[in-house]
Structure 1
Amino acid sequence: MHWSSLILTFGAAAAVSNHSCIGTKAVSANCQSSENAMVRDFFYIGGEYVYESAYSSSIYSDQMYVEKLVRATGANETNPIVLINAGVPSGAAWLNTPDNRKGWASYFVEKGYIVYIVDITSVARSSQEQIAIYPMKIASTVTITEDDYTAPQLIDPYPQSVNHTQWPGNGTQGDPYFDAFMAAMIPLTSNTTSQELSMRSAGCTLLSMIGIESYIISHSAGATYPTLMSDQCPDLIKGNINLEPGNTPFQNLVGNSTVPAVGYSAARACGLTATLVEYDPPITNCSQLETVVVGVDTPGNRSCYMQTSPARQLPNIAKVPYVAITGAASPHITYDHCTIAYLNQAGVATDWIKLGDIGIEGNGHFLYLEKNNLVIAGVVKQWIKEN
């Protein structure tokens, strides 16, 4: 469904006269955008009609909201970029930062890429009328956001947390940039199985309709979806770029506990996903994957679940170049090695860029929103050029 095509300028505002145009104050009519003009279209992709007997009629379900952004002067890069986040907040977070600086969508549009932003199915503009199938749960609280995302250094839950310096503002309730970030939090579905199935289908439909191999940039739990798409339609994906991938094999780990093995919960019975992907030798049920815990679990270096040997391989996922990018002060620096090791064991070649190793210090989990977000965008752009 195609609704509109507009010339737009987004966000990061420049001050005019003595008027303050910082953060949400830039909503003022006295503030001008500092960003380049771009053409915007939006669509709903995928999904199908579903009959609802209670209403004796059909609804449309499992569709995914998509925005297409192109520089007003036209794109000059061959392969588009698809931006997928975890749904917390919505895909709109790729446009600007909480303090209203330029976001990654604008950065890559200005560099000449066609950029697609999605809202994952069941979330935000992709919310579903099938409420029984997509029940909702809370996305985040002040405590979760402060401790895991914006100010982990205040509770020092893992050794690397004290080095977190890149969040704009102080990262706590009452700070205007924190409040803007919290205001963007939206509910998530608790039915990960239905969401994975709909994202796999709608995602590959989108890539097919784009018609050119695309780079997918995902964040956090959003890394689950390009994994599924790589399994189903690898020939449509040029590269799989994961900012702090949140699909840690078989478990969820959080960085808000100083006690080893606390902050763990079982997750993703199929390893990187909750639903079946193609393994070799094949499986028909996730319970057929045999695992073993590797490593001593400490706050600074969490233990991992790996396959027992010989490990089943992931032949389709292995067809797509993969890179993970991890902040030096994020909880993910304590456990992203689990994802990399699992992929390698399953025959997937990976790159892992630890920002601290290349001189980029102080980053927490939301790399694309922090003060040096465009520096990190440059790292991604360089990886794309090299791959």
Structure 2
Amino acid sequence: MKKIVFFTLLLQIMGSLQAQDLVIARQGHFSVGGQTLKHQGEYDNSKFVGWATQVEAGQSYRSDHAFVDFQIPANAHKLPLVYVHGYGGSGVCWQMTPDGRDGFSTLMLRRGWSSYVMDLPGRGRAGRTSAVTTVKPMADEMFWFDIWRMGIWPNYNEGVQFPTDSASLSQFFREMTPDISDHRQDVFSLNALAEQIGEHVLVTHSAGGFPGWMAAIQNKKVRGIVAYEPGGFVFPEGEVPETITGLTGGASGVPVSMEQFEQLLKIPIVMYFGDYIPETLSKNLGDENWRVRLQMARKFVEVVNQHGGNATLVELPKIGIYGNTHFLMQEMNNNKLADLLTDWLIKTF
């Protein structure tokens, strides 16, 4: 009987320790950036024309801000991580996985790195925008399945790390959110967050990569950039590579002044690209979309380092990590990717 009680207590203690392995010292959310529009005239509170229709005279409208979820673990490292999502999504992509495992930001919290997860203006919980647009339902999931290199619909790529059950795929596509932004406020919101929280490392994904470069150019509080399959790149004027043509429009560099580009030379940069990216022309849209972007990434790293910067490109299959799609940070081996990032952060900072 004593042995049974002992083992019962031991199991309870072990379970308690496992439940407490991540201690959050502080958490919350806030909006950052944006503007307030004010209509001329005087507000008349005696008029009612409807809930969705208003007499706007004298009324204000706050818009174009970003939404930020933050968590600070106990005994956090000095530099927090700011997570920036890509096209068609929100910060949720960093916070969850389709099959219910820890999201990437949680994995990094367990390793002691504070997280600031953004919904960029006009997406997710930052949907109050000044842009005029039309939102309509569009059946596009098979297209994105291919573009994001999960496979060629309805077949998954062999050895894929994305969970292949139907429930996970449904959860994944339900992460997507309308994009009702004009994208003019993205860099402004990143800079506004930098002014509020101080020095940090940007962690970007896909279309979030380009505003990440621009934010680092404009704000010295960005101490480093981690880019997961960024979709666009900047180059010094006069050194922009020729456009690399492909089935989805190809990849072109964006020129910036040398003075601007030099800001990227002052910070460490690491980029991660996943699997299923061919070296030669393909008839598949997803293959082509990322073939040209990976080639442009190589050129970007080359130019940064030629000018004395510190940029590293990690192609995961070349270091023995296989099966990752474009959403590598959500996949079944995201723990390995968190370990890779942790090693880089510790060695770098």
Shorter-chain TM-score tier: 0.7 to 0.9
1:68-125, CA deviations, whole angstroms, 9 ceiling, x for partnerless residues?
1122xx1331111111111533212212201100111111111112111010111111
1:55-75, CA deviations, whole angstroms, 9 ceiling, x for partnerless residues?
12221122111111122xx13
CA distance in 2, matches of 1:184, 1:344: 35
**Aligned residue for 2:202?**
216
**Aligned residue for 1:285?**
none
1:28-79, CA deviations, whole angstroms, 9 ceiling, x for partnerless residues?
xxxx9898353421111112211245712221122111111122xx133111
Unaligned 5+ segments in structure 1 are 1-31, 250-270, 273-278, 282-288
CA distance in 2, matches of 1:34, 1:217: 26
CA distance in 2, matches of 1:34, 1:141: 41
CA distance in 1, matches of 2:335, 2:177: 25
Q: Is 2:59 aligned against 1:64?
A: no
CA distance in 2, matches of 1:334, 1:384: 28
1:143-201, CA deviations, whole angstroms, 9 ceiling, x for partnerless residues?
12321236315579xxxx9445111025xxxx11001111121111363xxx2x31212
> Could you tell me whether the CA contact under 8 Å between 1:328 and 1:355 is conserved in 2?
yes
CA distance in 2, matches of 1:82, 1:307: 24
> Could you tell me whether the CA contact under 8 Å between 2:36 and 2:60 is conserved in 1?
yes
> Could you tell me whether the CA contact under 8 Å between 1:85 and 1:219 is conserved in 2?
yes
Distance 1:43 1:312, change over 3 A: closer
The SS at the match of 2:322 is coil
Counterpart selection for 1:41 from 28, 53, 77: 28
Q: How does 1:1-387 map to 2 (within 5 A)?
A: 36-38=22-24, 39-53=26-40, 55-56=56-57, 57-71=59-73, 74-132=74-132, 136=135, 141-149=140-148, 151-154=150-153, 162-170=157-165, 175-189=166-180, 191=182, 195=183, 197-211=184-198, 213-233=199-219, 235-247=220-232, 249=233, 292-293=242-243, 305=252, 314-330=261-277, 331=287, 332=290, 335-342=293-300, 344-345=302-303, 347=307, 349-387=310-348
Unaligned 5+ segments in structure 2 are 1-17, 41-54, 278-286
Q: Counterpart of 1:167 in structure 2: which amino acid?
A: F
Q: TM-score, normalised by structure 2?
A: 0.75
Q: TM-score, normalised by structure 1?
A: 0.68
CA distance in 2, matches of 1:111, 1:105: 10
Q: Counterpart of 1:55 in structure 2: which amino acid?
A: E
Aligned length: 299
Q: Counterpart of 1:338 in structure 2: which amino acid?
A: M
Distance 1:58 1:154, change over 3 A: closer
Distance 1:153 1:44, change over 3 A: same
> Could you tell me whether the CA contact under 8 Å between 1:138 and 1:186 is conserved in 2?
no
> Could you tell me whether the CA contact under 8 Å between 2:81 and 2:116 is conserved in 1?
yes
The SS at the match of 1:47 is strand
Larger Rg: 2
> Could you tell me whether the CA contact under 8 Å between 1:87 and 1:123 is conserved in 2?
no
CA distance in 1, matches of 2:326, 2:159: 10
Identity of aligned residues (%): 21
1:220 is displaced (CA, Å) by 0.7
Task: Give the CA RMSD over aligned residues.
Answer: 3.3
The SS at the match of 2:148 is helix
